[in-house]
């Protein structure tokens, strides 16, 4: 369903359920991570893009403190008190909005409750951060409903806290910041130490092809959190071992990892090598994009996936199959897993003239291996979250 059709459908759902039209509407896109895997919480760099898939959130104030939240896709409703939002076991999808409400209330208590509903077209479990799209659309809408101005970085942090405290995923700020700072035709380059955001044109010789494997993608199972803990352990080790300050793995070069890894458990050392190498690849990738070198950028994507597969071990057989098959497809520059990993989607960099044939070839190769084709679609780097 297209964006305008989604919004029209959501407004109808809201009016049918609550008897009145919504007062506020907001939209936020999902995101695709193009280069820079698990570097955000290591204070490094990432190249990403907001995409042309997202979530709409509409709401209306109530005269009491009650909140009613309708999930438009499953037509389930969660009810809670605006003054005391708490994580839910029965309606886990509501936790992202409850977490955002709690974050806004930390600045000033919510003066009243609301009726709200949301609906989106970001595929769930595809590694495109449907959760951040919901958080940022809810944050923009609820802030407007309460008459508050919230700076983008503050709103991103509120979304991150919702993930940490209400959903149980120790994510960085990549998803939220990309959703907020997307721009048509551009990649978002973020420095996760300073949170400076710039934009880099993808260029006319390349486009992004998503291959959704539908392999189970559940970061709340704990693998994501264990990888983050390993990175933090390694950063403490290098802070003791190196003669200069180390606040995060961003401060460690590949050469320093090689010369000072002794004393780290082997698995922890391998985990640390991944974001350290990724930071170097992102910096080189930004340089290649500026030169219009799509082929060189694609080679970095392949190197990134191999690092994910062998060092960070956050890939899976389905993602590996897509990346390996892409090496044999004309017009493809590079491919890698996107997002936290452990399932979900691969992103493929391909010349636009070859996108359709590449999509068909990858779907067929995947189907031959696993008995069903993967879902493919071209993703357009798009504008960021906004009030409507």
Q: Which residues does the annotation mark as catalytic?
A: 175
Residue 140 CA to residue 376 CA, distance in Å, equals: 30
The tokens of 56 are what? 């709409």
Residue 254 CA to residue 160 CA, distance in Å, equals: 29
The tokens of 25 are what? 């509407």
Question: Cβ(19)–Cβ(153) under 8 Å?
Answer: no
Give the distance, in angstroms, between the CA of residue 294 and the centroid of all CA atoms in the same chain.
Answer: 23
Q: Which residue has the tokens 């955002």?
A: 100
Those residues with Cβ within 8 angstroms of residue 61's Cβ, 6 or more apart along the chain or in another chain:
23, 112, 113, 114, 145
Question: Cβ(72)–Cβ(10) under 8 Å?
Answer: yes
Sign of CA dihedral 94, 95, 96, 100: positive
Residue 106 CA to residue 317 CA, distance in Å, equals: 43
Q: Residue 366 in 3-state DSSP? A: helix
Taking only Cα atoms into account, the Rg of the chain, rounded to an integer number of angstroms, comes to 21
The CA-atom distances, in angstroms, between 347 and each of 142, 213, 286, 337 are: 33, 11, 17, 6
Question: Cβ(56)–Cβ(119) under 8 Å?
Answer: yes
State the burial class of residue 240 (Cβ atoms within 10 Å of its Cβ: 0-12, 13-18, 19+). Answer: exposed
Q: Residue 115 in 3-state DSSP? A: strand
Residue 357 CA to residue 363 CA, distance in Å, equals: 10
Residue 188 CA to residue 201 CA, distance in Å, equals: 9
């Amino acid at each position: 369903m297209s964006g305008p059709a989604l919004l029209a459908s959501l407004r109808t759902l809201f009016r049918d359920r609550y008897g009145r039209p919504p007062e506020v509407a907001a939209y936020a896109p999902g995101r695709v991570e193009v280069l820079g895997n698990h570097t955000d919480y290591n204070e490094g760099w990432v190249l990403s893009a907001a995409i042309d898939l997202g979530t709409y959130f509409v709401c209306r104030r109530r005269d009491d403190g009650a909140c009613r939240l309708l999930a438009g896709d499953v037509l389930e409703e969660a009810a809670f008190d605006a003054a005391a939002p708490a994580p839910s076991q029965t309606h886990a999808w509501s936790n992202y909005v409850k977490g955002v409400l709690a974050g806004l209330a930390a600045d000033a208590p919510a003066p009243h409750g609301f009726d709200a509903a949301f609906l989106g077209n970001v595929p769930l479990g595809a590694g495109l951060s449907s959760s951040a799209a919901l958080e940022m659309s809810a944050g923009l809408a609820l802030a407007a409903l309460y008459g508050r101005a919230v700076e983008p970085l503050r709103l991103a942090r509120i979304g991150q806290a919702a993930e940490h405290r209400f959903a149980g995923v120790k994510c960085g700020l990549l998803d939220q910041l990309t959703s907020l700072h997307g721009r048509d035709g551009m990649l978002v380059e973020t420095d996760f130490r300073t949170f400076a955001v710039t934009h880099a044109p993808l260029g006319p010789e390349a486009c992004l092809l998503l291959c959704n494997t539908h392999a189970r993608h559940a970061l709340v199972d704990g693998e994501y959190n264990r990888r983050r803990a390993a990175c933090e352990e390694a950063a403490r080790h290098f802070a003791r071992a190196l003669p200069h300050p180390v606040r995060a793995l961003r401060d460690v070069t590949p050469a320093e990892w090689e010369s000072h890894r002794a004393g780290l458990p082997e698995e922890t050392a391998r985990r640390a090598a991944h974001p350290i190498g990724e930071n170097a690849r992102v910096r080189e990738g930004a340089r290649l994009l500026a030169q219009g070198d799509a082929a060189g950028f694609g080679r970095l994507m392949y190197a990134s996936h191999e690092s994910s597969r062998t060092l960070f071990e956050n890939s899976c057989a389905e993602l590996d199959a897509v990346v390996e098959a892409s090496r044999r497809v004309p017009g493809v520059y590079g491919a890698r897993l996107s997002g936290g990993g452990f399932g979900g989607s691969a992103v493929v960099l391909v010349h636009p003239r070859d996108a359709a044939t590449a999509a068909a070839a990858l779907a067929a190769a995947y189907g031959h291996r696993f008995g069903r084709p993967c879902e493919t679609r071209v993703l357009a780097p798009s504008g960021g979250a906004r009030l409507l």
